[in-house]
Amino acid sequence: MKKEAETTTQPSVHAFLDFMGRKGLNTTAQRKAIAEAFFDFPGHHSLEEFYLHIQKKDPSIGQTTVYRTLKLLCDAGLATETHFSDGIARYEVAHPDSHHDHMVCLVCGTIVEICDERIEKLQKDIASAHGFVLSGHVHNLYGICPTCRAARDTHSS
């Protein structure tokens, strides 16, 4: 069954359409399709990865449209953009009520989401000791994951 153009079951897509409406921006069918695909594609994806994912659904959507829509999703607070050590922007679905940081394997690129209340509190304490009130932070840990460490040990022995 084909979905009607104006209806969607995803609350996040509704929030995006609301945002676009408030900003007086034109919600094209392509932007809506990109938003739907974005919320249906969990993980931390680069523009390139996300574009290839979208291409499978609708080959007529161009990379620039995908890029602009990802930026709009970020502006709407529905997506976050993070840069890891490779410098490539990765986009993920934002969850306003829950925060997490990232641990990244420098060999295979695996990303683990981490959240530790002690670190969260410590960061706030450090900020307030400097008279800051935090509006956000980026905290990435880099290393080598167990799978890659095991593979490396096998090769070196």
Amino acid identity of residue 1, one-letter, is M
Which of 4/117 has CB closer to Zn ion? 117
CB 16 within 8 A of CB 35: yes
Which of 103/105 has CB closer to Zn ion? 105
Which of 73/145 has CB closer to Zn ion? 145
Q: Which of residues 118-157 bind Zn ion (CB under 5 A)?
A: 145, 148
E strand segments, the chain: 45-46, 79-83, 89-93, 101-105, 111-114, 140-143
What is the closest distance, in whole angstroms, from the C-beta atom of residue 154 to Zn ion in the complex?
14
Q: Which of residues 23-62 bind Zn ion (CB under 5 A)?
A: none
Which one of 24-32, 92-100, 119-127, 128-136 is the stretch in contact with Zn ion (CB under 5 A)? Answer: 92-100
Tally the C-alpha atoms within 13 A of residue 151's C-alpha that lie toward its C-beta: 7
Q: Is the dihedral of CA 89, 90, 96, 98 positive or negative?
A: negative
CB 69 within 8 A of CB 36: no
Examine residue 107 and tell whether it contacts Zn ion (CB under 5 A).
yes
Compute the distance between CA of residue 39 and CA of residue 93 in angstroms, rounded to an integer: 7
Which of 32/90 has CB closer to Zn ion? 90
**Residues 105, 123, 127, 140: which binds Zn ion (CB under 5 A)?**
105
Binding residues vs Zn ion (CB under 5 A): 92, 105, 107-108, 110, 113, 145, 148
